[in-house]
Amino acid sequence: MPFKRHDESCFNSNMDAIDRELIAMAIDGLPEDEQEIINALFFERVSYRVLAQRLNCSTTKVIDVRDQALKTLKTLIEKSVTDEH
């Protein structure tokens, strides 16, 4: 499930378009299951419980995949910023 670029309601209004694009590109670089969980939690604002039910897994699994996705996003964003300089 690709990142929903049209939903910018979660972005801070102080972020510029470059920051938004960087985040979107990093999310696109995640495995599909991690993209789905990040999109649901942060952009659709689905609860952990509801998302776990939707995915037929435990909330612990949702949290584990979220944590892994956030680590990967941090690495991808840091690498992208470092490569620019």
Number of domains making up the chain: 1
User: Which is more confident, 61 or 79?
Assistant: 61
- pLDDT tens digit string along 9-58? 555 555 677 788 889 999 999 999 999 999 999 999 999 999 999 999 99
CATH number, domain at 37?
A: 1.10.10.10
**8 is a domain residue:** no
**1 is a domain residue:** no
Gap between the Cα atoms of 73 and 85, Å rounded: 19
**9 is a domain residue:** no
Gap between the Cα atoms of 79 and 45, Å rounded: 28
User: Which is more confident, 1 or 84?
Assistant: 84
User: Which is more confident, 80 or 85?
Assistant: 80
Residue 58 domain boundaries: 17-84
Gap between the Cα atoms of 5 and 50, Å rounded: 23
**26 is a domain residue:** yes
**36 is a domain residue:** yes
